[in-house]
Structure 1
Amino acid sequence: MRHTSPTTRSRPSNGGDTMAVILKAFVASAFLAWMLLRQQLHLDDGNEPPGPGFNSTVIPTPPEVCTNRDCVVAAALYHTNMDADIDPCQDFGSFTCGNYRFYNEIPPGKPEQTPMNSLRNRVSKQLSELLTSPDEPSDKQYETLAKKYFKKCMDTKTINNDPDHKKLMTVMKQVFNASGYPSIFGGKLNSILWPPMFGHLLLNTLNVPIVSVGVAPYGGDSSKNVLKITQSPWTLIEYEDAYHEKPDNELVEALFKMLSEDVLKSLNVPVNDAKDMARKIIEFEKELVKHKVKNFNDPAVLSNYMNRTEFKQRLKTLNTHFMTGLLRRYKLHFRNTKVYYASLNYLQDIQEFVMKAPSEVVMTYAVLIWMKSMSGYIDDTISTPFKDYARLARGIKDQPSREEECINMVTRDLPLATSNLYLKSVFDLNKVQEPATELVEDIKKYVIEQLEGSKWLDDATKNKAITKIKKLRQWVGYPSCYKDDALMNKKHKCFTPTSDSESFIALGQRISQCNNEAYFDKLLGSDNPDEFGFLGDVNVAYQPSSNTMGFFSGILQYPFLLPDAPKYVVFGAFGTIIGRELQHVFDELGSHNDENGNLVNWWTAAAKQEFADKAGCFDKQYTHAGIDGDSTNAEDIADNAGLKTAFGAYRKWLNDHPNEPEKILPGFEHYTPEQMFFITWANNWCNIYNKNAIEKSADHVHAPTLRLNMPALNSLELNDAFSCPKGSPTNPEEKCNFW
């Protein structure tokens, strides 16, 4: 194994260097030819003792340069991104990714560009080609429906001129008339009772501005599902924290302008009334946001259950006006079934607050939220103000393309159909499933070794954690249910073909209704825990409620999975992704569920405190670097711990395979396998970003600008590999670690 300091890494050769290399190659070739000749002439057959130092069995075989496709494309990528003139001990991020900015651009509508975003864009283009391709005889009915959905979505000319879309008025009148109340359009807003209208919206969208209704696994037995009632994710303000800042906050002022000058005007509200209503709407939403639960990972929130009888007694208004019609519509007749709620205080507080609010304010707020949620289906005169406001709030100059918007909508509304199209057409998963699965198992085995060797976990918590890893359910590429034609046909029974005359908004509503019915079928026990959405997504996801990890087909390709490259590339690129995702089995959310996905407190108090201390170190470190370390804490721990886990698993592989020397990537002859592991890992997190957009975003789960440099600073193994002196910028004295 080669151990080269970073000061001797590869540089362009001059003429003298070239002659020296040629001379060394000639001498080495002559020496090897002589040894081969000795063997052929039987000079070493035992009758004549070999001369000292000429025993062919001790001649080391130098690693070969790897020239297969995976090696060549990996080498080209790393060379392109690397700035080899920078000392890795001074700035590891610039050393590995310093030239990334010269070859990449931030796409329209995005705050940053990363290798994952580049791959997502490639997947979107692949799917766009599939969705615009002619129908094939082998296409399933639901796959044909996905193609027609995408075609209608892209036809903005028809959308802008279709009577159903032109002003949205027809659809909104249908909503209000179905509730038995007069329309609010034309003149002043009518003061009417709103709760039944909310119930009607729930029937069609499952979302209103006050509550969201859905299905969730029951914490006591995750194989069963319960009705879930929680706060709505929808708000008019782009970032809720803006309401906690100064009164003249830029986002609040922009929202007022958008509502009063654009949206309410489109509803025929007079100018003066529009300004007055916009102010009331903003004050109403501020009050709603004030009551919202912030931390859904809190065990006190996760374990909130009551039966239907108790729910009816304690939340009478919500039950009477929100739930009765919904339960009747989806035939959910039950009395003793558990109901999960996000926060009893929130639900109790807002039902009283909303009932006391002016009806015209509540009604108008409901209309505006619904319009925002439908912006992808409706004409530009209504959707553009919402999109422009979102772009301003996010600090982004350009809107995403219509193609991207339609790809997001069709994969959201028809995830099974688009997954099937992608899986059968884009690339052969059979070539990558086996090596990817083998890699997952290698990383899991090393995680168990980490747990066994951990000094801060007590035996009781350690044993539970090991059991959870051993019983982890996983799928690579796709879960088996996606290849079950009978199951797929059953799930798409409601999704009948569309006609050319059916408008896009009508098709969207019909598909939404089918999805809602399938969603509530989960209460009857038909839920499949392996349904994760569109499988072409560039993603790995862990589901605590079933202790399941899914490795989506979209990520099983260049530049993250290159199975024919040396193992330092395989472990450095995809192994680190596996390693970081496995940390979620133990983090703030995963630690609340046992090996079966049930809500169980399996951590001892001492282990929890140790975990909190380690998490606090990362929180403080990342906050000091300029971001909200509390909001990104779980992902920061995963980034750091996952790197250590994957490198440990790679080193274990090297020890277990002493007779399998690692080949060299072209042009990287002066780097050790350990150094190449970290160079490969760093290339996962190269990025360029819009500083204004990053600063405006208040909802980061990941630390966008620190996912490379901060783990490098904390990694003892990386600094050892590059011989970085203590106290150098990449190797500070103070570090945070998890394992």
Structure 2
Amino acid sequence: MTGLNQRNNQAQSAGECSEICTSPNCVASAARLITNMDLDVDPCEDFYEYSCGGWHKSNVIPEDDSHYAVPSKLIKSLEIQCKELIERKPPPSETAAIRKARNFYQSCMNEDILTQRGSEPLKALLRELGGWPVVNDGVYDEGTWTLEDVLAASRIQLDRNFLFHNRISVDAADSNAHILTFDQPILGLENRDYFLRNESIKGLEAYQKYMIDMALYVRGDSDREEVTRQMQEVLNFEKKMANISMTQLAKRRAQIMNQKVSVSYLKRRIPAINWTRYFQLVMNTSSVDHSMELVVYSPQYLLGLNQMLLETPNRTIANYVVWRAVTHTMDMMNTEARSIRQTFLKVVSGEKKERARWIQCIDNTNTYMAHALGALFVQEKFDVESKETAFKMIGHMRDALYSIINSTDWMDDVTKQKALQKAFAIREQIGYEEKLLNFTHLDGLYEGVDITVDQYFENAVQIMSEHARKLFGKLDESVDRYGWSTAPVVVNAYYQFPSNSITFPAGILQPPYFSRRYSRSMNYGGIGVVIGHELMHAFDDKGRHFDIDGNLGIWWSNSSSQSFQRKAQCLVDQYSNYQYEDLGMNINGWQTLGENIADNGGLKEAFMAYRHSVEETGKEEPLLPGINLTHNQIFFLSFGQLWCGLHRDQDRINSLKTDYHSPLKFRVWGSVSNSEHFAKAFNCPTGSPMNPTKKCGVW
């Protein structure tokens, strides 16, 4: 193969095999790598474009999306597979849970019935929420309306609060127990900056139009002037909520504060809400223990909210809460209502049209009935042998993590030993939860819901309500430390702080991340880096505060903490200097610190594990055909190609404001430019863009 500059070919690994693999799997692997690359780019100048230039030239962002990236292709593939499975004629003996999932999907697909029913299902829900005043249908009654009733009704019916976020979580101070937690809510425009900065005026105008048009749709008349007046009050109210909300960075820092208060504290400091009444309703009890402990992540927000509620008319509060309930149910609405939302999305995300209905319905089935669809997928489509291969890889990754921690020269011995013990205790969850294939268990997950093919809206509300009921029922139960928090058909991976565990669902154990037919260099550069990333979250700026048992506490010495902060500051400065020049916007290095630590440490860990696996076998693999690269180089190329992607401008702006991850290009630049292994593999001159003299890294 031509096009690679000579220095890349000189950076061979010791003992690199000269044999060329010509099997169909090797040919296909090489072809994919080559197709995605741009060989006219020097990898030492811009490794991202070198890895992904071909991908960028041969792909476009679909009109129904704000971005398109490597995970997007895999998600599309999984959606197609799930569609084929759920539309297939079921066997007579099919388990009830999967039958309900099929009914749910069919009810979503039945657009004729959705059109016939119009806004009636939504109006029935609005009656449960005490009415939407702006609709002017006689349901809302100023004299009998109470805030606590509507807050509890939205929590019970829709599994959501809209003035604050309230759920049952694992107690950070005792990972075996559950506790009630309170936080600020997600706003209608997600990021507070939309409401507060002048450059967001177009998005804010589109949001207001969305409010007005939906209210008119439900009202069924054209009194735009009156609706506009009331929804302007709602918008002003939400602007005030944004003003008292924390930034993304402050939210992340608050999650390690774990400030506990009592119900009595809420009653005393936030008297605008009748907390006794609220808890009676959501917990289905006549008596409330006012000494019960709660965790409040955003106390200043709740104090500010209290003042807002005291100063705001009930009608405006009711209009806001119900408006947010309406937005939460938009996926369950008919085409006319969804087209109103689509007009809004076109402005704020750049999505030009709605996704195909079958895609929406597969995704919604995977949201509302994830375990049933996941069980069907695992039975029919998942390569179970992949679990064993992944377990072996995790073993090598864990060894590499031990080695990295053990070799640190900035931790004292006591802290280091505790870190090693925590690393050793990390548990892995691979593919799917075994009991999903126990159909008695699976059916039990959905025994409280009755899913019919002609009532999509009610089906979704039933499932949300059942989830809320089960969630609050956990308050007095011990935590299942071995339970899964995600379903199988998910293209993502997770580290859970409370259980000190990593999870890799079946959805991500697929090409291009992983295949039993890939070379080791490709697998370690793919899923290996993802594994390393999740393992490193146990020791990032947030994870390091949790001990071996997943409890929040102080187990680092002052000197080791100070050394961590100094090394982290280097990463903060490095990433804060990365800029989208065409937008004139920089990354927030503090906001993305945890993910940047995991990216950098995970890449280092995966490369060490890869080299260990080679040493364990005693020989290098045969080279791939038609691509003049060593396997060390292919490892890094596989990593780079994980992040190929295209984004609309609005999506790039949104991600800089809200995402804890750095943008794709900078994830690659940042990680490889800090890697001595990368510089050696590609023989990059010192001082070149991808091999700067100053390198950063915590681990």
* Structure-2 change in CA distance of 1:735 and 1:331 (3 Å): farther
Which position in structure 1 is the counterpart of 2:95?
140
Within 1, Cα distance between the matches of 2:230 and 2:572?
42
Note the residue ranges of structure 1 that are not aligned, 5 or more in a row. 11-59
* Structure-2 change in CA distance of 1:111 and 1:619 (3 Å): farther
Which position in structure 2 is the counterpart of 1:250?
202
Within 2, Cα distance between the matches of 1:350 and 1:646?
46
* Structure-2 change in CA distance of 1:160 and 1:355 (3 Å): farther
Q: Secondary structure at the match of 1:216?
A: strand
Give deviations 1:113-141, integer Å, cap 9, x for gaps: 22212111111111122122222234211
Contact 2:128/2:153 (CA < 8 Å) preserved in 1?
no
Q: Secondary structure at the match of 1:597?
A: coil
Q: Secondary structure at the match of 1:277?
A: helix
2:346 aligned residue (368, 385, 391):
391
* Structure-2 change in CA distance of 1:87 and 1:440 (3 Å): same
C-alpha displacement of 1:445: 0.8
* Structure-2 change in CA distance of 1:135 and 1:735 (3 Å): same
Which position in structure 2 is the counterpart of 1:602?
555
Q: Matches of residues 529-678 of structure 1 in structure 2 within 5 Å?
A: 529=481, 530-626=483-579, 627-658=587-618, 660-668=619-627, 670-678=628-636
C-alpha displacement of 1:321: 6.8
Give deviations 1:190-241, integer Å, cap 9, x for gaps: 64544123332222123232123211111221111112232222x2335321
Amino acid at match of 1:273: E
Amino acid at match of 1:417: A
Which position in structure 2 is the counterpart of 1:28?
none
Within 2, Cα distance between the matches of 1:689 and 1:122?
20
1:220 aligned residue (170, 173, 196):
173
C-alpha displacement of 1:448: 0.6
C-alpha displacement of 1:333: 5.7
C-alpha displacement of 1:488: 2.8
Q: Secondary structure at the match of 1:537?
A: coil
Give deviations 1:337-388, integer Å, cap 9, x for gaps: 4222222332233123213201111111112111100001122333332332
Name the stretch that deviates more: 436-445 or 112-121: 112-121
Give deviations 1:689-714, integer Å, cap 9, x for gaps: 32343134421222223222232222
Which position in structure 1 is the counterpart of 2:639?
681
Q: Secondary structure at the match of 1:113?
A: strand
Q: Matches of residues 91-170 of structure 1 in structure 2 within 5 Å?
A: 91-162=46-117, 165-166=119-120, 168-170=122-124
Q: Pairwise CA RMSD of aligned residues?
A: 2.8
* Structure-2 change in CA distance of 1:332 and 1:612 (3 Å): farther
C-alpha displacement of 1:281: 1.3
C-alpha displacement of 1:300: 7.1
Q: Secondary structure at the match of 2:658?
A: coil
Within 2, Cα distance between the matches of 1:711 and 1:595?
27
Q: Secondary structure at the match of 1:595?
A: coil
1:436 aligned residue (390, 395, 398):
390
Which position in structure 2 is the counterpart of 1:512?
464
Contact 2:133/2:319 (CA < 8 Å) preserved in 1?
no
C-alpha displacement of 1:262: 5.0
Which position in structure 2 is the counterpart of 1:408?
363
* Structure-2 change in CA distance of 1:302 and 1:149 (3 Å): farther
**TM-score, with length taken from structure 2:** 0.90
Within 1, Cα distance between the matches of 2:238 and 2:24?
55
Contact 1:214/1:228 (CA < 8 Å) preserved in 2?
yes
Q: Secondary structure at the match of 1:176?
A: coil
Within 1, Cα distance between the matches of 2:134 and 2:698?
59
Give deviations 1:119-172, integer Å, cap 9, x for gaps: 111111111221222222342111111111011112222112125x45833332
* Structure-2 change in CA distance of 1:520 and 1:727 (3 Å): same
* Structure-2 change in CA distance of 1:337 and 1:558 (3 Å): same
Within 2, Cα distance between the matches of 1:317 and 1:61?
71
Contact 2:167/2:180 (CA < 8 Å) preserved in 1?
yes
**TM-score, with length taken from structure 1:** 0.85
1:489 aligned residue (439, 443, 449):
443
Amino acid at match of 2:183: T
Name the stretch that deviates more: 222-231 or 444-453: 222-231
Within 1, Cα distance between the matches of 2:286 and 2:624?
61
Q: Secondary structure at the match of 2:273?
A: helix
Within 2, Cα distance between the matches of 1:322 and 1:208?
15
Contact 1:132/1:147 (CA < 8 Å) preserved in 2?
yes
Contact 1:116/1:538 (CA < 8 Å) preserved in 2?
yes
Contact 1:208/1:232 (CA < 8 Å) preserved in 2?
yes
Instruction: Kindly indicate whether residue 476 of structure 2 is the aligned counterpart of residue 524 of structure 1.
Output: yes
Within 2, Cα distance between the matches of 1:251 and 1:61?
55
Contact 2:387/2:430 (CA < 8 Å) preserved in 1?
yes
Amino acid at match of 1:492: Y
C-alpha displacement of 1:391: 3.0
Give deviations 1:19-60, integer Å, cap 9, x for gaps: xxxxxxxxxxxxxxxxxxxxxxxxxxxxxxxxxxxxxxxxx9
Q: Secondary structure at the match of 1:396?
A: coil
1:707 aligned residue (654, 667, 672):
667
Q: Matches of residues 404-483 of structure 1 in structure 2 within 5 Å?
A: 404-429=359-384, 431-483=385-437
Which position in structure 2 is the counterpart of 1:730?
690
* Structure-2 change in CA distance of 1:61 and 1:215 (3 Å): closer
C-alpha displacement of 1:6: 4.2
C-alpha displacement of 1:423: 0.8
Contact 1:569/1:676 (CA < 8 Å) preserved in 2?
yes
Q: Matches of residues 28-67 of structure 1 in structure 2 within 5 Å?
A: 63-67=18-22
Q: Matches of residues 281-430 of structure 1 in structure 2 within 5 Å?
A: 281-294=234-247, 295-298=250-253, 302-320=257-275, 323-329=278-284, 334=289, 336-429=291-384
Fraction of identical pairs, as percent: 24
C-alpha displacement of 1:246: 2.3
Contact 1:468/1:595 (CA < 8 Å) preserved in 2?
yes
Within 2, Cα distance between the matches of 1:321 and 1:382?
37
* Structure-2 change in CA distance of 1:144 and 1:238 (3 Å): same
Amino acid at match of 1:74: S
Within 2, Cα distance between the matches of 1:706 and 1:518?
41
Which position in structure 2 is the counterpart of 1:45?
none
Within 2, Cα distance between the matches of 1:61 and 1:463?
36
Within 1, Cα distance between the matches of 2:283 and 2:635?
58
Q: Secondary structure at the match of 2:590?
A: coil
* Structure-2 change in CA distance of 1:320 and 1:647 (3 Å): closer
* Structure-2 change in CA distance of 1:541 and 1:61 (3 Å): closer
Which position in structure 1 is the counterpart of 2:583?
none
Instruction: Kindly indicate whether residue 673 of structure 2 is the aligned counterpart of residue 716 of structure 1.
Output: no
Contact 1:580/1:643 (CA < 8 Å) preserved in 2?
yes
Within 1, Cα distance between the matches of 2:513 and 2:65?
21
Within 2, Cα distance between the matches of 1:264 and 1:314?
38
Contact 1:167/1:382 (CA < 8 Å) preserved in 2?
no
Contact 1:238/1:390 (CA < 8 Å) preserved in 2?
no
Contact 1:212/1:230 (CA < 8 Å) preserved in 2?
yes
C-alpha displacement of 1:629: 2.4
Amino acid at match of 1:521: G
* Structure-2 change in CA distance of 1:607 and 1:322 (3 Å): farther
C-alpha displacement of 1:477: 0.7
Instruction: Kindly indicate whether residue 136 of structure 2 is the aligned counterpart of residue 185 of structure 1.
Output: yes
Contact 1:377/1:504 (CA < 8 Å) preserved in 2?
yes
Note the residue ranges of structure 2 that are not aligned, 5 or more in a row. 10-14, 580-586
Which position in structure 1 is the counterpart of 2:12?
none
Amino acid at match of 2:331: G
* Structure-2 change in CA distance of 1:73 and 1:143 (3 Å): same
